[in-house]
Amino acid sequence: MTEFLGQLELNRVYHQDCIEGMKMLPDQSVDLIVTDPPYGINFYSNRRKKNKLKSAKGILNDGHDNTVFLSMVIQEMDRVLKPDSHVYWFTRWDRIYLQYPLLNQYFKMKNALVWMKNGHSMGDTKGSYASQYESILFGHKGRRYLNEYQGRKRHTDILQFDRVTPSKLLHSHEKPESLIKFLIAKSSIKGEIILDPFCGSGTTAATAKKLGRNFITFELDKDSAEIANKRLSNIQKEN
């Protein structure tokens, strides 16, 4: 049975701008937001000549002047998120000073979680330390208790999860399902609706589906949207 949220069908990846997509959702209609937005760093991979992933050559809306764009995204996120719900926002250490104030206008920010990876980036190999983590800004709209996960009620703000191995990457910024599973499980229950404004290769959507949550997500890049939809179709076939 097909279910709708406002004008949009649940459990689908929509190939469109996330601001325009979220405008089609009712006020206070989603239960959790987990998203990995363009950081605003003009990303390109140091290995882009060898990397076959399209995302290694650049990310849409990732220019250094994307703060206004992200502020519009966050405003819509606040409108569609229900009271007493959580937000997880991935970012990088040098973008926190710009993005934290945008989020803090609407949400009560509680932590800058650290995702510690099992490997590190290249970057300036002679002039800087090798980066081994990414930040996740965590906030409440209202207040909601965190769930127990794998027998534990309390977890630290250091989250250790292996990153996706290069041979299995579908997107240059792909997050591991194990990490997204942890966040979704801590902040939602079965049947609730997870929103991801920036779908990428569909990790949030795929994980939500496996955990018995509903989801709605948007992706502006056509190739990434197709990858995400194929990924979801494969889950359906496996089930």
Q: Check residue 40 and give its pLDDT.
A: 67
Task: State yes or no: pLDDT of 55 exceeds 50.
Answer: no
| Confidence label for 69 from pLDDT (cuts 50, 70 and 90) | very high
Task: State yes or no: pLDDT of 53 exceeds 60.
Answer: no
Task: State yes or no: pLDDT of 45 exceeds 80.
Answer: no
Q: Check residue 39 and give its pLDDT.
A: 67
Q: Check residue 125 and give its pLDDT.
A: 76
Q: Check residue 62 and give its pLDDT.
A: 53
Q: How far is CA 95 from CA 18, 73, 133, 220, 237, in A?
A: 20, 16, 14, 22, 39
* Contact status, residue 192 vs residue 214, Cβ threshold 8 Å: yes
Q: Check residue 56 and give its pLDDT.
A: 45
- Closest alpha carbon to 196 in 204, 206, 188, 185: 204
* Contact status, residue 219 vs residue 228, Cβ threshold 8 Å: yes
pTM listed for this prediction: 0.88
Q: Check residue 33 and give its pLDDT.
A: 98
Average the pLDDT over 225-238 and give the result. Answer: 86
Q: What is the CATH number of the domain that holds 234?
A: 3.40.50.150
* Contact status, residue 121 vs residue 131, Cβ threshold 8 Å: yes
Helix (H, G, I), strand (E, B) or coil at 198: coil
Cα 230–chain centre separation: 18
Average the pLDDT over 207-218 and give the result. Answer: 97
Q: Check residue 57 and give its pLDDT.
A: 45
Task: State yes or no: pLDDT of 204 exceeds 90.
Answer: yes
Q: Check residue 85 and give its pLDDT.
A: 98
Model confidence over 87-117: pLDDT tens digits?
Answer: 999 999 999 999 999 999 999 999 999 999 9
Task: State yes or no: pLDDT of 146 exceeds 60.
Answer: yes
Phi, psi of 114 (to 5 degrees): -115, 115
What residues make up the domain containing 166? 4-238
Task: State yes or no: pLDDT of 43 exceeds 50.
Answer: no
Q: Check residue 41 and give its pLDDT.
A: 55
Average the pLDDT over 133-145 and give the result. Answer: 97
Measured over the CA atoms of residue 123, residue 125, residue 129 and residue 132, the dihedral's sign is positive
Q: Check residue 98 and give its pLDDT.
A: 93
Model confidence over 152-194: pLDDT tens digits?
Answer: 999 999 999 998 787 776 656 789 999 999 999 999 999 999 9
Q: Check residue 164 and give its pLDDT.
A: 79
Number of folded domains that form the chain: 1
